Structure 1
């Protein structure tokens, strides 16, 4: 699985995804459409946003590809304008990164 995880990743979701076999690209700095494209978002299967302050990236990601799952892993509330395009929002205080990573990478049952 190809995943893109944004910084700051204070809870370690990128490391947890790597531990269960995901190929993770970490993004830092301003997250713009060109940065996301250069990082390979079109070929990614998973986009994990760790800072709701960068929530405007969710519509950008959804515009670039229909084949990516979008996840917010942050303690802060997701803005209303993003909720309809988001696949999952998780508070790290409720689900540990290793548990979430194993669920995100797990193959669906036949």
Structure 2
């Protein structure tokens, strides 16, 4: 599984994904189109966003890779303009990083 990760990682989700065999590329700074392209979103299976202030990156990621699975890992609500996008929203207060990583990598293994 290839994942692109954008936003802060105070919960340690990127490391949990790596521990389960995922290749994780972290976007440094703003997840705009050039940054997402450089991070390899074209070939990513998963795009994880933790900062809803960068919600536009969801639309951009899907434009670059219509098949990428988008997961937000934040306790903030997504802006309405991305409500038409298929996004799995997970709240860190309800799901710890270990559980989220386990589910995401298990689903990827089941798809293979």
TM-score normalised by structure 2 residue count? 0.92
Deviations 1:38-84 (A, max 9, x none): 11100000000010010000000111111210010011111111122
Contiguous gaps of at least 5 residues in structure 2 = none
Which residue of 1 is the match for residue 59 of structure 2? 59
Task: Report 1:1-110 matches (<5 A).
Answer: 1-106=1-106, 107-108=109-110
TM-score normalised by structure 1 residue count? 0.93
Extract structure 1 runs of 4+ deviating beyond 6 A.
Answer: none
Question: How many aligned positions are there?
Answer: 110
Structure 1 position 109, deviation (Å): 7.0
Q: Point out the more displaced range, 84-93 or 52-61.
A: 84-93
Greater helix percent: which structure? 2
Deviations 1:18-46 (A, max 9, x none): 11110111112122101111111000000
